Amino acid sequence: MNSINAKMDKSDYEIYDDFMNIEIDGYYLDEKLDELYPNNLYKGMIPTLLFAMEIKEERDVVWNRIKPATNSTSICPILMCPDDCDFSCTIIVVEIENKKDHTVWRKLGLNKIVPREAIEIGTEVEWFENIGPFQFSFNDYKKFLLDFKKAYTIDESKYEVSDR
């Protein structure tokens, strides 16, 4: 089994705050993609599981697809460009299978369309050949999602306070 964690990371860019990032087997996902596919500007991408995602319908797609129903599969947006924080820019997707006692990230790839509607994300994908699949225990994956949900809730409450 692979390990997966939600872990605080320092932004690669001075204009952005530190953020919760995706760590798999001891490395951040964006940095591993940048190492495997240099010159594609994958380093510094941030998880779509953050409250920073600006459009509610897009956030809903992410949270509805990150844990598919038992014995089913979904294509979930997982990393986004920190400049736009929506589906209009570079989006990395992952094919996720829920096997009841563990979760499999079968493959990752680059979304190839700018969807007119949020639900269209991931319908055209250029799949990466040099990364995945990953298998995560049910408990590790559950903790990973709970940690992101906690960070999401904290960021949401900070936004509501500052918006008053």
Q: pLDDT for 109-134, tens place per residue? A: 999 998 999 999 999 999 999 999 99
Q: Give the confidence band of 9 by pLDDT, cuts at 50, 70, 90.
A: confident
Q: Give the confidence band of 155 by pLDDT, cuts at 50, 70, 90.
A: confident
| pLDDT (0 to 100) of residue 19 | 84
Number of structural domains (the chain) is: 1
pLDDT over 90, % of the chain: 80
Supply the DSSP string of 88-156, one letter for each residue: TS-EEEEEEEE-SSEEEEEEEEEE----SSGGGTTSSEEE-SSS--EEEEHHHHHHHHHHHHHHHHHHH
| pLDDT (0 to 100) of residue 31 | 96
Q: Which domain holds residue 127?
A: 4-162
| pLDDT (0 to 100) of residue 158 | 75
pTM for the model: 0.93
End-to-end CA distance of the chain: 45
